[in-house]
Amino acid sequence: MKRSATSLIVSTVMLCTVGATSQIQAADTLAKIKSTGKIVIGHRESSDPISYVVAGKPVGYAVDICNQFANDIKKELKMPGLKVEYKAVTSSTRIPELLAGNIDMECGTTTNSKQRQQQVGFSTNYYATEVRMAVKANSGIKSLADLNGKAVVTTQGTTSDKYIKMNEKGQA
């Protein structure tokens, strides 16, 4: 049981790791957490119900999961007084913040994609989603091709942003 808890902690902290050296970097992240006496959790401010803010406090089911991971890390490191800090991140800043070591893990709506796996590690997936588009019913738009020459709004740094750009360039 202790071994599986340790594996879960290491795989969770791997959210901040890169490439083939991810286990070493996960251990480095645990060492950093131990030496600083704090764990910094990146959170989204408006991804309700996954990660959002109420009365200045991060909440949501991803935040609950990250808080449990933080409690497990406290136990693993034998540091009951380990501080938990939160830092707001966006779709554009979450991965750079992980790579820079400014956050130790991210609780949000980050899609586990092959491209992102080359930059950071992911814990076990705990939700699934897909890209959807909304248009006025009378717009005449029935497919992506119908969007050619039209303005499209999405969030920068998301998988939908990448998909739209690829489609625009005829790569999808």
- 12: CATH: 3.40.190.10
- Residue 152 is predicted with a pLDDT of 81
The answer to whether the beta carbons of residues 69 and 26 sit under 8 Å apart is no
Structure token digits, residue 20: 């083939």
Asked if 112 and 139 sit in the same domain, the reply is no
Q: Mind giving me the DSSP string for 21-45?
A: GHHHHHHHHHHHHHHHTEEEEEE-S
The count of structural domains within the chain is 2
37 vs 16: CA distance, rounded Å: 17
pTM: 0.66
Asked if 17 and 99 sit in the same domain, the reply is yes
pLDDT of 39-82, one tens digit each? 999 999 988 898 999 999 999 989 999 999 999 999 999 999 99
Structural domain contains residue 126: no
pLDDT of 124-142, one tens digit each? 776 676 677 788 899 888 8
